[in-house]
């Protein structure tokens, strides 16, 4: 056997070992992903298993190389024999080279085809897994934390160590010209190592730092990396179509990722940097004692750096706005901070830091409204079922002393829904931590909050059961919330283990900052009846406001100013009081004059009416006074000459009466003429001019 045959045989064995390791790592990751509900590990398992076709292709190609070398040795032996000189065996000689033809076919069609299949598989599975895991970049309920972090860290570290060591071994073999195809296998192995390391780091950060951000983003990141790797393979596939081929040169297939090959053999990058430094400085820097010392001690320096980093874990700084708990070997020692704390290194000693001024909240009663639109008593404003409190019915007689109404029967109760948010801050961190066990990693205080919610729910239930429904629906909810805060704080203070010194409970270690009573409403079926009462109250208030507006408008129109109207009304009330108490007439008259003066000064409609009445009074007074004076003059004239006065008055009256009458001219000398004046009204009834006129 030749050296080439042995080399290809060894490469075939290494490819089969790589196939077994790749398949084993992929299957282990796949089993963990299903058992631990880890979506990121499932994506990584698919990526690792896609390296299996790469190793299968390499094993087949190297095996064909070995067959080709055997065929070549047989051909050389045949050529040296005498049978090769006979034309009878020409066709047999051509058939002996079938392995070489099959090898050429594999390099020309099989490896490019497998590269294309692997690239399409990486792209398709990567895109599908990205669509599935992209919700993990958001908060719950789109993503749930895996349930087996310990197994994840162990499997990840194991895959990283095994994959990287094997990748380095294969990358070293690939430096030989005959084994250059092993670069594709080293890339698949180092890819599995990177996935295992990423999985271990993400779970370690989630466990140590209580931060699941890296773990939530790991699944989509692996999916994007798979699509990027597929893009690199497709680009290499296209470039290989146009790259010229030289005789005897083995072309690297497209599934041989240059990026992963670089990670598997980073020393090549270091050699490139060394050559660049030598070129820039003009001499061989790599041959200096410092460079050689650094190259020999790089591992020791790395270990020393890790030890220094680990030793720094003895120092913990608690910021001014934080408080910390010193936990040593799982036991709570004391509360520390703010400031510098020095203790044992991790993992023997850990300082858990908490924000001192952070406000937490638990809710009792109905959940928060989740549906859009107005929040009314008559509509369903949450997807969850509302929780009702038992309250006392309203009294049979209204508190204002109104008419008696039909009261509730003995033993009747009412149901009332309410939202009671309770905000609190941690005042004693040790007591709060000892209140209950720590919950899940993403919600460490969940059990404590559930306990506080249960205690507060009992207090709120008893408090509501002692109150009437009209009180809770009324305007005194603010006072009731403050009273409820005191009761809940007292209940929280009674929690905790008894103190060793006093025997009193240590309390929950929290201080209530706010308690609210919001969203109070009856059950939906009876809500319209309550709304009817509210509507009646609103209507009554509207009528009262309308009456006030009418009164204001009327008073302003009467006296011109509402303030003066109030003053005039007060004076009128005083006048009525004087009249009712039989006060002296002078006092009543003075009060009346005071009211009149105020009305006159106001200048409104009342002042206009008073002014018009005064004018009419003076008009009538002066007219009557003129008639009196005229009568007195006529009486004096009559007394002076009764006869002429009567004649003059008679003729005047007759002239006035006959000034529009007809005049009749007759030829008769007799002056006694009878005129028919039936249609005429008598001029002066019963007037006699006297004997002097006759």
- Under a CB-based contact definition with an 8 Å cutoff, are residues 28 and 155 in contact? yes
Side-chain half-sphere exposure of 531, counting CA atoms within 13 A: 11
pLDDT of residue 125: 92
| DSSP for residue 505 | B
Q: How many whole angstroms separate alpha carbon 457 and alpha carbon 527?
A: 24
pLDDT of residue 423: 92
pLDDT of residue 693: 45
* Residue spans of alpha helices (H) in 419-496: 429-433, 446-465, 469-473, 477-493
Q: How many residues in the chain?
A: 694
Q: How many whole angstroms separate alpha carbon 346 and alpha carbon 36?
A: 26
At the fourth CATH level, the homologous superfamily of domain 360-396+411-522 is: Band 7 domain (3.30.479.30)
Q: What is the pTM of this model?
A: 0.49
- Under a CB-based contact definition with an 8 Å cutoff, are residues 604 and 560 in contact? yes
- Those residues whose C-beta lies under 8 Å from the C-beta of residue 354, and which sit 6 or more positions away, are 322, 323, 324, 325, 426, 429
| DSSP for residue 392 | B
Q: How many whole angstroms separate alpha carbon 186 and alpha carbon 168?
A: 7
- Those residues whose C-beta lies under 8 Å from the C-beta of residue 440, and which sit 6 or more positions away, are 145, 446
pLDDT of residue 282: 64
Q: What are phi and psi of 465, to 5 degrees?
A: -65, -20
- Under a CB-based contact definition with an 8 Å cutoff, are residues 187 and 261 in contact? yes
Please give the structure tokens belonging to residue 430.
């040790």
What DSSP element (H or E) covers 342? strand 339-342
Q: What are phi and psi of 118, to 5 degrees?
A: -65, -40
The widest CA-to-CA distance across the chain, in whole angstroms, is 205
Residues 574/575/580/585 CA torsion (nearest 10 deg): 130
Q: What are phi and psi of 418, to 5 degrees?
A: -155, 150
- Under a CB-based contact definition with an 8 Å cutoff, are residues 180 and 9 in contact? no
Where do the domains of the chain lie?
3-80+96-266, 314-355, 360-396+411-522, 547-619, 646-694
Q: What are phi and psi of 458, to 5 degrees?
A: -65, -40
Pick from 128, 125, 106: which is nearest to 56 by CA? 106
Residues of the chain below pLDDT 50: 87-89, 140-141, 399-407, 680-687, 692-694
DSSP string, 238-285: HHHHHS---TTPPPPPTTS-HHHHHHH-THHHHHHHHHHHHHHHSS-G
Token pair 């699941």 is found at 212
pLDDT of residue 24: 94
pLDDT of residue 335: 82
- Under a CB-based contact definition with an 8 Å cutoff, are residues 203 and 442 in contact? no
pLDDT of residue 681: 47
- Those residues whose C-beta lies under 8 Å from the C-beta of residue 286, and which sit 6 or more positions away, are 274, 277, 278, 292
Q: How many whole angstroms separate alpha carbon 642 and alpha carbon 646?
A: 6
pLDDT of residue 655: 80
Q: How many whole angstroms separate alpha carbon 456 and alpha carbon 428?
A: 19
Pick from 165, 156, 162: which is nearest to 201 by CA? 156
Q: How many whole angstroms separate alpha carbon 181 and alpha carbon 251?
A: 8
pLDDT of residue 236: 86
């Amino acid at each position: 056997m030749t050296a080439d045959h042995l080399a290809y045989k060894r490469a075939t064995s290494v490819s089969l070992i790589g196939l077994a390791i790749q398949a084993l790592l992929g299957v282990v990751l796949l089993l963990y992903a299903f058992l631990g509900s880890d979506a990121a590990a499932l994506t990584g398992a698919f990526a690792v298993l896609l390296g299996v076709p790469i190793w299968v292709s390499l094993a087949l190609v190297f095996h064909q190389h070995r067959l080709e070398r055997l065929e070549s040795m047989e051909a050389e032996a045949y050529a040296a024999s005498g049978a090769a000189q006979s034309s009878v065996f020409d066709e047999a000689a051509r058939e002996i080279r079938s392995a070489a033809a099959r090898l050429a076919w594999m390099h020309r069609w099989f490896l490019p085809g497998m590269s294309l299949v692997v690239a399409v598989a990486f792209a398709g599975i990567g895109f599908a897994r990205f669509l599935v895991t992209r919700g993990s970049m958001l908060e719950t309920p789109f993503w749930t934390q895996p349930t087996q972090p310990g197994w994840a860290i162990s499997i990840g570290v194991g895959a990283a160590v095994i994959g990287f060591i094997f990748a380095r071994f294969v990358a070293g073999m690939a430096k030989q010209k005959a084994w250059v195809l092993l670069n594709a296998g080293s890339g698949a192995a180092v890819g599995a190592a990177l996935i295992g390391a990423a999985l271990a780091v993400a779970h370690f950060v989630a466990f140590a730092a209580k931060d699941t951000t890296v773990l939530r983003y790991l699944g989509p990141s692996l999916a994007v990396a798979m699509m990027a790797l597929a893009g690199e393979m497709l680009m290499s596939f296209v470039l290989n179509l146009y790259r010229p081929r030289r005789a005897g040169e083995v072309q690297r297939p497209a599934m041989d990722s240059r990026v992963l090959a670089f990670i598997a053999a980073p020393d090549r990058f270091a050699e490139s940097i060394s050559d660049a430094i030598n070129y820039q400085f003009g001499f061989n820097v790599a041959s200096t004692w410092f460079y050689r010392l650094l190259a020999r001690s790089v591992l020791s320096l790395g270990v020393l750096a890790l030890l220094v980093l680990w030793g720094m874990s003895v120092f913990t700084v608690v910021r001014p706005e934080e408080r910390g708990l010193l936990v040593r070997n799982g036991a709570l020692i004391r509360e520390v901070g703010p400031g510098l704390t020095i203790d044992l290194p991790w993992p023997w000693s850990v300082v858990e830091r908490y924000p001192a001024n952070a406000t937490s909240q638990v809710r009792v009663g109905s959940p928060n409204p989740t549906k859009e639109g107005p929040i009314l008593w008559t509509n369903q404003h949450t997807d969850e079922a509302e929780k009702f409190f038992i309250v006392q019915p309203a009294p049979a007689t209204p508190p204002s002393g109104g008419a008696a109404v039909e009261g509730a029967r003995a033993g009747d109760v009412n149901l009332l829904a309410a939202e009671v948010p309770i905000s609190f801050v941690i005042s004693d961190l040790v007591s709060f931590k000892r209140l209950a066990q720590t919950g899940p990693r993403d919600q460490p205080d969940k059990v404590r909050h559930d306990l506080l919610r249960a205690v507060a729910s009992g207090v709120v239930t008893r408090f509501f059961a002692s109150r009437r429904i009209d009180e809770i629906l009324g305007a005194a909810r603010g006072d009731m919330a403050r009273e409820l805060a005191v009761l809940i704080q007292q209940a929280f203070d009674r929690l905790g283990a008894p103190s060793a010194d006093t025997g009193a409970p240590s309390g929950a270690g929290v201080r209530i900052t706010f308690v609210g009573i919001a969203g109070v409403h009856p059950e939906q079926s009876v809500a319209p009846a309550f709304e009817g009462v509210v509507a009646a109250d609103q209507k009554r208030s509207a009528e009262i406001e309308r009456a006030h507006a009418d009164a204001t408008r009327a008073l302003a129109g009467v006296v011109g100013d509402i303030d003066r109207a109030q003053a005039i009304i007060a004076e009128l009330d005083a006048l009525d009081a004087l009249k009712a108490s039989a006060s002296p007439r002078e006092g009543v008259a003075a009060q009346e004059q005071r009211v009149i003066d105020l009305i006159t000064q106001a200048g409104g409609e009342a002042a206009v009416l008073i002014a018009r009445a005064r004018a009419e009074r003076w008009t009538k007074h002066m007219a009557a006074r003129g008639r009196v004076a005229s009568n007195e003059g006529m009486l004096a004239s009559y007394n002076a000459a009764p006869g002429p006065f009567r004649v003059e008055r008679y003729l005047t009256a007759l002239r006035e009466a006959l000034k529009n009458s007809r005049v009749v001219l007759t030829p008769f000398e007799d002056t006694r003429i009878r005129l028919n004046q039936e249609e005429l009204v008598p001029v002066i009834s019963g007037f006699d001019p006297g004997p002097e006129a006759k």
